[in-house]
Amino acid sequence: MNQTASIEKTTCYHCGDDCLTPAYFVEEKQFCCFGCKSVFEVLSESKLCNYYSYNDHPGVSRAHVDKRFDYLNQPDIINELIDYKDDNITIVTFYIPQIHCSSCLWLLEKLNKMNPAIHYGKVDFLKKQLNVRYNHHQLNLQQLVELLYNIGYEPVISLQDIIKKQNSPAKDNLVQKIAVAGFCFGNVMLLSFPEYFGISVYEQTFKHFFGWVNLLFALPVVFYSGWGYFISAWQNLRIKVLNIDFPLALGVAVLFIRSVVDVAINNDPGFTDTLCGLVFFLLIGKYVQKKTYYHISFERDYRSFFPVAVNIIINDIEKPVPLAHLQTGQRIIIRHNEIIPADAILLKGRAMIDFSFVTGESIAISKTLGEIIYAGGRQTGEAIELEVVKSVSQSYLTQLWNNEAFTRKKDGDNQTFNEKISKYFTIVLLVIAFGSLLLWLPFNASKGLAAFTAVLIVACPCALALSTPFTMAAALSIFDKNLFYLKSARVVEQMAGIDTIVMDKTGTITNGDSNGVELNGDLTTLEKLLIYSTCINSIHPLSRMICNYLGKNYRLPVSHYTEFAGKGIVATISDHQLKIGSGDLVFGYFKETPGITAIHILIDGHYLGYFSIKHNYRDGMDQITKLNSSYDLLLLSGDQDHERDGLLRFFRHPENMHFNQSPQGKLDVIRSMQEKGHKVMMIGDGLNDSGALKQSDLGIAVTDNVNNFSPGSDAIIDGRSFEKLPSFLLFSKDAVNIIHVSFIISLIYNLIGLSYAVTGRLSPLIAAVLMPLSTVTIISFTTLATHLAAKKRHLL
């Protein structure tokens, strides 16, 4: 039996192109070429044919001739393209312009089903990027690219490393769309002025002419500038999602259709002025929202990026420099628990690198001298020296911070105000529109249709769509200027909902001033040098204080180094065995030192005394006491409680101060408070409190020109701005209140407009005035109110 004789469809099942030959036919499905047929067979073998259920013809035509990817076997080229590589795993990011719909996301994130050597594929839809982690022993880069090519998603590969240097998403002509909409809106408004101010009998002949001219101006606005709203609404409807673009698209469609009817049949001016203004202002909001997205996802200039520094070595002298100024060829020193900010070659020291921030696996990997170490690795041993071979990748560090491994599962439940309201707004809007239609239909069908369209015209959710991005853009800019850096816009609303604040002591509410260090014991010059050479490997605040006390010195090589969180350091230097830390570590049991924080010293089994630490609190700690009136303020410290009385002026309730807490103990206290229904914010010193920072509802890492950034935190605050914390918390509430008030303004506007709309007597003049007036009001209000709130909190 000839199967092809029964074919009815003439379009390709995979890509939708016309089938010019019946030669490619399988499983009763017609394909336009061998490539599309091959893609279907690959998907069918992998049991992934659900790909076709999300969209009709979601694929891309494979009719063109295969390209050769042999050059992807060259090691030099591979090293330029990949993000990370170790003994087994390679991570690479591709730019794939073919990503365009939900089917694309679904298929590309199922790559591991097609080839078990692929661990995962993650899609960034806005940037059209695919991040792939795979086993390079079982699959090489060329084979991976060929697999993507075979399923219709050929990556765009540039030897200039297009992914890492790409600072903006794929072009969507948004600026051009705004320009077209603005040009048409201006001209339509100009031609509508006679209608607004009254047309004399003599000018009536121009009324119909101006109506048709306005319709011509509306065509590019609807079918070019505003077409994206129709696409978004349709794609979401196909997956049964009612997003905020649906009423926008419906409103634009109704405006256009009713304007055509009014001009062509009723000889009325229609709603073209409202239509063009609506699309123009919405696109401006979309542009700001797009800019805000990159702002809040830390795609920013390095001058406002991580407030951390890395120490470079010049003529054997350490000098801290901001990450923005780190250059290829510079020699850097990375201490225990510090993150390597750029790809670099190991020059000195024993490197034990934990790549859990990159791969999710916390096993430390040993690196040999001369070996390249990729950005994102964390040193877990002694201090090492490296030479930078690749500039710091801003987007790559951003990706680390936003890695799924550091995303709280409960974050999905913390919807923003905009997300909570938008779905209800859409439903209520449609209920009112259809209710007006049904109410009038039995009495006056024409008036019912007029009421239906008028409701969609006047009740456009543009204010809801614009209030959040405008407010957050202004708020995040103000936080940045005050050296407070948030991971995402969602953090602002989370911060506004906090009711409990937990603080670490050392390195958080205290500074690293060496004036509070005193040596109790006699040390020789060699012993001081051994202690300095040990402590210089650590970024712990107490280690830095001891190094500052001992003064700058040259560093002896360390043959063995282990740092125990909350306890101290064990090291071997030139056959000398050192233990520096708490009594638990040095003596094997708790040794109380009343009234002081003691760092004990044991060298070659001989106890040599201890450093007594008198903590100096940060400037402005008196401002922190203001938090007691609005929040439950707690202290979690790993130190003894000898400073309890002095801390009572900051933490007014003795039961809220917990001492001798291990890192796990801090985490457990926070978890228990969350189980009681509290929203907890943890403030710590980065990696030393990484577990507690991640467990909390909002984690803030305090930094003082050191590289102790932790991806588990939600925000980073420069130590110089610590005293502004009460102002930051109040300002976050102000920002959320501004969004709420802007919604109320929008609601009042809608009620006024609906009072006219449901009667079916809404004129173009009222709609043309109310809609732009509401939008301009929202934009002006959110921007001005945010800056006024910042001034009120002394942040500007």
Residue among 739, 721, 716, 719 at smallest CA distance from 789: 739
Identify the band that residue 469 occupies on the pLDDT scale cut at 50, 70 and 90. Answer: confident
Helices and strands per DSSP (H, E), number in the chain: 27, 28
Poorest-pLDDT segment among 78-92, 189-203, 526-540:
189-203
C-alpha separations of 748 from 459, 741, 742, 765, 770 in Å: 10, 10, 10, 19, 11
3-state secondary structure of 309: strand
Half-sphere exposure of 440 (CA within 13 A, CB side): 20
Residue 198: C-alpha distances to residues 173, 175, 192, 650, 765 (Å): 38, 35, 10, 69, 11
φ, ψ (nearest 5 deg) of residue 56: -75, 130
The segment with the largest mean pLDDT, out of 186-200, 221-235, 521-535, 654-668, is 521-535
Confidence (pTM): 0.61
Helix, strand and coil percent figures for the chain, each rounded to 5: 50, 20, 35
Tell me phi and psi for residue 587, to 5 degrees: -105, -15
- Out of 62-66, 586-590, 665-669, least confident range: 62-66
**Using 50, 70 and 90 to split pLDDT, how confident is the model at 169?**
very low
Q: How far apart are CA 92 and CA 165, in angstroms?
A: 14
Rounded distance, CA 209 to CA 206, Å?
A: 5
Closest-CA residue to 632 (of 725, 505, 499): 499
CA 410 – CA 337 distance, rounded (Å): 27
Q: pLDDT tens digit string along 136-157?
A: 998 888 889 888 887 778 887 7
In this predicted structure, which of 16-30, 646-660, 685-699 has the lowest mean pLDDT? 16-30
How large is the angle between the packed helices 725-757 and 764-792, nearest 10 degrees?
170
Contact 54, 134 (CB under 8 A): no
What local confidence, expressed as pLDDT, does residue 75 receive? 81
pLDDT at 170: 43
Residue type, 350: R
The winner for highest mean pLDDT among 319-333, 349-363, 418-432, 557-571 is 557-571
Banded pLDDT at 415 (limits 50, 70, 90):
low
**pLDDT above 70: percentage of residues in the chain:** 73
pLDDT for position 23:
62
Domains of the chain: 3-45 (no CATH), 70-165 (3.30.70.100), 303-401 (2.70.150.10), 514-613 (3.40.1110.10)
Reading the block at residue 605, the tokens are 């089994």
Name the helix (H) or strand (E) containing 471.
Answer: helix 462-481
Cβ contact 307:716 at 8 Å: yes
Q: What is the pLDDT of residue 532?
A: 92
Q: Residue 58: is its pLDDT beyond 60?
A: no
Contact assessment for residue 192 and residue 214, using Cβ atoms and an 8 Å cutoff: yes
Q: Are strands 606-613 and 29-30 parallel, antiparallel or unpaired?
A: unpaired
298-312, 449-463, 634-648: range with lowest mean pLDDT:
298-312
Binned at pLDDT 50, 70 and 90, residue 129 comes out as confident
Nearest CA-CA partner of 34 in 152, 146, 143: 152
CA–CA separation, 544 and 506 (whole Å) = 12
Amino acid sitting at position 329: G
Asked whether 193 and 206 are in contact (CB, 8 A), the reply is no
Length of the chain in terms of residues written: 796
The amino acid at 737: N
Tell me how far apart the alpha carbons of residues 570 and 564 are, in angstroms, rounded to a whole number. Answer: 8
Instruction: Give the whole-angstrom CA distance, residue 42 versus residue 150.
Output: 8
What is each CA distance from 523 to 277, 528, 563, 579, 611, in whole angstroms?
Answer: 78, 6, 23, 15, 11
Helix (H, G, I), strand (E, B) or coil at 318: strand
Mean pLDDT of 12-27: 68
Q: Cβ of 721: how many Cβ atoms within 10 Å?
A: 19
564 Cβ neighbours under 8 A, 6+ residues apart? 570, 581, 585
Cα 470 from Cα 474, distance rounded (Å): 6
Exposed, middle or buried, 68 (CB in 10 Å: 0-12/13-18/19+)?
exposed
714 vs 779: CA distance, rounded Å: 28
